[in-house]
Chains A and B, each alone.
Chain A
Amino acid sequence: GAVVSQHPSRVICKSGTSVKIECRSLDFQATTMFWYRQFPKQSLMLMATSNEGSKATYEQGVEKDKFLINHASLTLSTLTVTSAHPEDSSFYICSARLPGVENSPLHFGNGTRLTVT
Chain B
Amino acid sequence: DQQVKQNSPSLSVQEGRISILNCDYTNSMFDYFLWYKKYPAEGPTFLISISSIKDKNEDGRFTVFLNKSAKHLSLHIVPSQPGDSAVYFCAAGLGSNYQLIWGAGTKLIIKP
Contacts and interface: CB of A to CB of B under 8 A. Distances in A.
Interface of A: 4, 6, 9, 32, 34, 41-46, 49, 91, 93-95, 97, 102-103, 105-111, 113
B98 A42 contact: no
Contacts of B51: 103
A105 B104 contact: no
A110 B102 contact: no
Interface residues of B, number: 22
B102 A43 contact: yes
B34 interface: yes
B32 A106 contact: no
Contacts of A107: 46
6 contacts: A43-B103, A45-B102, A91-B41, A93-B44, A107-B46, A111-B42
Contacts of B32: 103
B98 A32 contact: yes
A110 B32 CA distance: 24
Contacts of A102: 96
Contact of A106 (B9, B46, B103, B104): B46
B104 A108 contact: no
Nearest to B43: A108
B20 interface: no
Contact of A93 (B43, B46, B96, B103): B43
Interface in B71-112: 89, 93, 96, 98-100, 102-105
Instruction: Name the residue among B42, B89, B103 with the largest chain A CB count within 10 angstroms.
Output: B42
A6 B41 contact: no
Instruction: Name the residue among A42, A46, A105, A113 with the largest chain B CB count within 10 angstroms.
Output: A105
Interface string B1-23: 00000000100000000000000
Nearest to A102: B96
B45 interface: yes
Contact of B93 (A42, A103, A110): A103
Contacts of A4: 43
Given A103-B32, A105-B34, A34 B98 contact: yes
B98 A44 contact: no
